[in-house]
Amino acid sequence: TREEAHHLALALGPAAGVLVIADQGNDRLSRFNTLNATWLTPWFYDGSADSAGMKDPQGIAIDPDGSVWVADSLNGRIQHFS
């Protein structure tokens, strides 16, 4: 099982079946494949050299090319995942 806490926002991307969830309680973005009901690897930070872990993700937007933008509220920044 997977423990999720305080889901504050979610977005369905343009790619078929990928749901992105702001998991505020676990300071990450969870991803779920709705086509085969499986959890994908969660995202904790955007991978850039200056990134610390996400703190209190609150909002998500997915643009037409599938890039994910998240409000990393306690770090005072927007993180980008592609």
pLDDT in tens, 13-67: 887 788 999 888 888 888 899 999 999 888 886 666 556 688 888 889 999 888 9
User: pTM, whole model, 2 decimals?
Assistant: 0.79
Task: Output the pLDDT for position 69.
Answer: 93
DSSP state letters, 10-45: EEE-SSTTEEEEEEGGGTEEEEEETTTTEEEEEESS
Task: Output the pLDDT for position 54.
Answer: 86
Q: How confident is the model at residue 1 (pLDDT cuts 50, 70, 90)?
A: very low
